[in-house]
Amino acid sequence: MARISQKRPLLNKILIFVEGPTESNYFEQLRQNKNISNATVVKILNGQGDYVDKAEQQIKSFKKSFEINRKILVFDANHQSSSNLQKLITKAKSKGYEVAFSNTCFEVWLLSHFEKMTTGVIEEKKLCKKITLHLKTKYKKADTNQLATIMSHINNAFTNTATINQVSFTRQSTNVGDIISTL
């Protein structure tokens, strides 16, 4: 009897596009901790640029061995203008991306693992100093051991960002927790 050839169904994938090494390492650890085997973290760009175009280029380079179930784009203000940021978010959403945005930087989300955040903007240097105090050692961006320590307090972060989870370009905000809670 001849063997019947069956096509395997395509795997559903969650693609998480990040702009920098801190975000990349954080989401990679999150993926492993939450055992989200169908998620892939893709570093697209460090600093300014069109994150959407870079993510779309990455998608085109992937083999067609999976079906994209969700596309998540993680980035922060990086001193870009409000109009530029709004254009990026609008473009991302029009192409089916969920946007995880932090103003002023990703460290807003990281600090929220330890303390309640408010809408008052804290500059990046001060955010890093505050994280250092909580870690009891100098905070180093993208350090996987420190990110693991920070992540061990993730449940606090959801509560501590409840009042700043609406995207804003003029006040401190982060909706990273809203995206993470749906993974």
Q: What is the Cα 159 distance to its own chain's centre?
A: 18
- The residue among 168, 56, 157 whose CA lies nearest residue 110 is 157
Task: Dig out the tokens for 62 from the structure.
Answer: 């992937």
Percentage of the chain surpassing pLDDT 90? 79
Asked whether the CA dihedral 44, 84, 159, 98 is positive or negative, the reply is negative
Answer whether residue 1 shows pLDDT above 80.
no
Answer whether residue 11 shows pLDDT above 90.
no
What would the pLDDT profile of 148-178 be if each residue is shown by its tens digit? 999 999 999 999 999 999 999 999 999 999 9
For residues 42-46, give the mean pLDDT: 81
Please tell me the distance from the alpha carbon of residue 5 to that of residue 84, in angstroms, as a whole number: 51
Per-residue confidence (pLDDT) for residue 48, from 0 to 100: 59
Per-residue confidence (pLDDT) for residue 84, from 0 to 100: 92
Q: Whole-model pTM?
A: 0.91
